[in-house]
Amino acid sequence: MSIPEHESPAVESYVRLKALEMHLRAHGFTTHHVAGGLVVRNTTSTARTCCGARGVAGDTVTCRPNEEDGNRYWFFTSWQQPIAESERITDALVMIKGYLGAPA
């Protein structure tokens, strides 16, 4: 899916996060926007949490240019690890499902 580029980096990031959000919701994640990011929660997580083997796993995903990839827009974890190029929604979805303990 090709997403048209916008003049404002903030708008660009928001549009790309909205595209990711639609896919995440279709796969059962809960989401909401915060300043500069998208909070993603898996309420049926199989990942180990502080509350035991099952619980709610979540992260705040951001979208910004990646200097290591010619300033293409990428999704990043809250700890600044790259998830996937923003044009690769399916790859981002698979990575997020993996680290938030969602079934494949």
Separation of alpha carbons 4 and 68, rounded Å: 21
pTM here is 0.83
Q: Within its chain, how far is the Cα of 57 from the centroid? A: 13
pLDDT < 70 stretches in the chain? 1-7, 45-55, 104
Place of tokens 């929604």: 89
Q: What is the pLDDT of residue 15?
A: 94
Q: What is the pLDDT of residue 8?
A: 80
Q: Dihedral angle at the C-alpha atoms of 10, 56, 93, 99, nearest 10 degrees? A: 110
Q: What is the pLDDT of residue 103?
A: 73
Whether 100 and 57 have beta carbons less than 8 Å apart is answered as yes
Distances (CA, A) of 77 to 6, 11, 29, 47: 23, 19, 16, 16
Please choose, from the candidates 23, 24, 22, 19, the residue with its C-alpha nearest in 3D space to the C-alpha of residue 4.
19
